[in-house]
Amino acid sequence: MIHSRNRRLRVNESVRSLVRECTLTTNDFVMPIFVMEGENKEEPIASMPGIFRRSIDLTVKECKELFSLGVKAVNLYMKVSDDLKDNTGKEAWNKNGLMQNTIRAIKDAVPEMVLMPDVALDPYSIYGHDGIIENGKIANDATNDALARMSLSHAEAGADIVAPSDMMDGRVQVIREALEENGFTDVGILSYAAKYASSFYGPFRSALDSAPKDNIEIPKDKKTYQMDFHNSREAINEVFKDIEEGADIIMIKPGLPYLDVVSKVREAIDLPIAVYNVSGEYAMVKAAAQNGWLDNDKTIIESLTCIKRAGADMIFTYFAKEAAMILNR
């Protein structure tokens, strides 16, 4: 006779929901948003069905809708005009730049929306790299100074949390010191502590035209600063260094292919963990769903739940709006 039957706790949805270990809600989501110059403009991103570049006015409208659905945080990226790009990235800290104007506009319209602007130079660089190029290499410390200026301009515009995604060594400390010295003690830092050099970023780079340029005099990829995808112990080292430097939230990127890293970091730290469900992950699900190979809604919810189950406290995902609609139903 069988005395222990695990299926007793799976007998129907009511029982399953009572013993469920992990529950997904709209509070878990951060929506990445792409912003472009202009007015009343919207451009679809071909490799990311359902995702758009929008002008500031339409971005504000989108943020209002997101907030009404229960998505309370957005991650901001700018599509910068080529004539504003150079090797220093100085447009990144222009007080009247696209990012700064976007932050102010959203804060005026949706004051309680948590704004997490991206901090990296690649959208502003003529080379498409996250750092300043000196003698054919990424200049770590010069880049850190630029990132601090960029972060400070975001804080002045009204950002709640700055999100350095560049993977320069020591940049969290430089940014934290700049914020503290200028009175922005309440502005948080969400550090991309374990960001891997991944093939899953392709659709994102096409959305912002931020891929490294094909130039023999500069690194052809981002492998000298983003992590090697063969490694996981290295991620723990990166995470602890960023915590020591003053990070408030730790990011692991990409998401689904790296859940082993998420789980290891979760066991090692108590700080909140963010996980980025990146553009390539989004594109694969959408392509399969459009071909009838996967159920769109069920796959979205399962994927995001798996990320949370692995240890994420928040999930950066292009599915945020769609997932919120599904959950609200």
Q: Of these residues, 195, 222, 286, 308, which one is catalytic?
A: 195
238 labeled part of a ligand binding site: yes
Tell me the β-bridge partners of 315: 29, 275
61 catalytic per annotation = no
CA-to-CA separations, 56 to 165, 305, 317, 320, 328, in angstroms, rounded? 22, 31, 20, 20, 27
* Secondary element (H or E) of residue 71: none
Q: How far is CA 42 from CA 50, 58, 306, in A?
A: 11, 8, 32
**How many CB atoms are closer than 10 A to CB 16?**
11
Rounded to an integer, what is the distance from CA 284 to the centroid of its chain? 18
Query: What φ, ψ does residue 25 adopt, rounded to 5°?
Result: -135, 170
Distance in angstroms (rounded) separating the CA atoms of residues 55 and 73: 19
Q: Is 18 exposed, middle or buried (0-12, 13-18, 19+ CB in 10 A)?
A: exposed
Beta strand pairing call for 42-44 and 52-54:
antiparallel
Dist CA 123 CA 82 (whole Å): 9
Catalytic residue among 85, 107, 222, 253: 253
Cα–chain-centroid distance for residue 290?
Answer: 25
Instruction: Locate 262 and state its tokens.
Output: 């998420």
Active site residue 195: yes
Query: What residues does 125 pair with on adjacent strands?
Result: 86
Question: From the annotation, which residues make up the binding site for Mg(2+)?
Answer: 238
Active-site residue set: 195, 253
